[in-house]
Amino acid sequence: MRYKTIDSCLCNRKRKWTLQDLIKACEQALHDSGRSNITMVSLKTIKTDLHYMRSEAGFSAPIVVVDHKYYTYADPDFSITKVPLTPDTVTKLSEAVSLLKQLTGFTDMAGTEDIISRLDDRLENLKTQQKPVLYPEQDNLPNGRQYIPIIHQAIVEKSVLAIRYKSSRAYEPRTYIISPYALREFRYRWFVFGQHSKSNTLVSFALDSILSIEVFNGATYHADPDFDPTSYFEDIVGVTRNNEPVQKVRFGASPETASLIQARPVHKSQQTIEQNEDGSATFEVRVIINNELIRELMSYGEGIIVHSPHSLVETMQKKYTLGLNRYTSPER
């Protein structure tokens, strides 16, 4: 993290960087990452980092000192993020990926196939200089994944976290103290679930709306023996669980939409109730009805129609009517 921070500073040629400036930038980066146990970066540490970055063992960075005081890159286009991996490093990474491929059949490695495929594709690109063949969606968008390590560690070590958070509906950010319990991914977004220190209620935060996060030593971690992440997410689509009961949701789909829904079920409880000769089908899921389920069903547009329960049918009718009115409004 210090190397990346120093690199970011030296690439910014709109200002001049002294050793003290680099120290402050590194300390701020470490603080923002939640590593509150690291409060100081010494002058010796920064000098050692600069020496390593200059060396062939490091990044061969063209770091120069201007006016005996200010640090910058002699090459304005240089960045350590552009430095190619050495052949030896690529070989070692390839060996590691090969080992991971052998382990994907084990239960504990289930779900890692996508990650391993991305690594394999990237390494093949590095070795052959060919264009990649995998193009993951939203890779360059802010998603808060940088907070996953500190949250994961806090869950394992049962540490309290202070989260500075600004939701899309809030005017100002707020700081929340929570005992974290679980991390959940839904539609390329990550969420952390935990107990609020003041209200003692279960809360969740989208990682892409977190401004900063750090371990908080001013409160005691509170475990909730009644919270089981597996059962909590069992009957819902997404991350929102309300007090409604589990219901059977039945909906029909056109031939084109039915094939999509069969390939990517709305929920793991999905069953095909009826399969017609023209390819259309009727499906059923057992879920708690929440906003994520409604958005998922509406994403198929005219391709589906909800049959039951009646309350959900009415909700869908209202939403589609509102949408139709907006398209036919004279003000449009």
> Is the domain of 316 the same as that of 274?
yes
Over residues 142-153, the mean pLDDT reads: 83
Element (H, E) at 64: strand 63-66
Distance separating alpha carbons of residues 272 and 284, to the nearest angstrom: 7
pLDDT tens readout for residues 264-291? 999 999 999 999 999 999 999 999 999 9
> Is the domain of 63 the same as that of 19?
yes
> Is the domain of 197 the same as that of 257?
no
Does a structural domain hold residue 140? no
> Is the domain of 124 the same as that of 177?
no
Distance separating alpha carbons of residues 281 and 165, to the nearest angstrom: 43
Q: How many residues does the chain have?
A: 332
Is the pLDDT higher at 107 or at 81? 81
Domain's final residue, options 128, 159, 190: 128
- Which candidate, 183, 194, 184, places its Cα nearest to that of 224? 194
pLDDT tens readout for residues 35-54? 555 568 899 999 999 999 99
Mean pLDDT of the chain: 87
Distance separating alpha carbons of residues 151 and 192, to the nearest angstrom: 8
Range of the domain at 299: 247-328
- Which candidate, 163, 146, 142, 148, places its Cα nearest to that of 208? 142
Question: Would you place residue 30 in the very low, low, confident or very high pLDDT band (cuts 50, 70, 90)?
Answer: confident
* CATH assignment at residue 285: 3.30.70
> Is the domain of 13 the same as that of 67?
yes
Does a structural domain hold residue 137? no
Return the residue matching tokens 């029909």.
Answer: 252
> Is the domain of 167 the same as that of 212?
yes
Is the pLDDT higher at 302 or at 122? 302
> Is the domain of 283 the same as that of 305?
yes
Over residues 253-258, the mean pLDDT reads: 94
* Percent of residues, the chain, with pLDDT higher than 90: 59
Does a structural domain hold residue 232? no
> Is the domain of 64 the same as that of 97?
no
Q: What torsion, rounded to 10 degrees, do the Cα atoms 246, 251, 255, 257 define?
A: -60
Domain count, the chain: 4
Does a structural domain hold residue 139? no
Q: Among the residues of 264-329, which ranges form H helices?
A: 291-298, 310-328
> Is the domain of 258 the same as that of 208?
no
pLDDT tens readout for residues 199-224? 889 999 999 999 999 999 989 999 99
Does a structural domain hold residue 233? no
**Contact at 8 Å (CB) between 46 and 26?**
yes
Does a structural domain hold residue 289? yes
Beta bridge partners of 304: 253
Question: Would you place residue 107 in the very low, low, confident or very high pLDDT band (cuts 50, 70, 90)?
Answer: low
> Is the domain of 10 the same as that of 77?
yes
Does a structural domain hold residue 287? yes
Residue type for position 46: I
Does a structural domain hold residue 242? no
Residue 143 has pLDDT above 80, yes or no: no
* Percent of residues, the chain, with pLDDT higher than 70: 89
* CATH assignment at residue 18: 1.10.10
Distance of CA 115 to the CA centre of its chain: 13
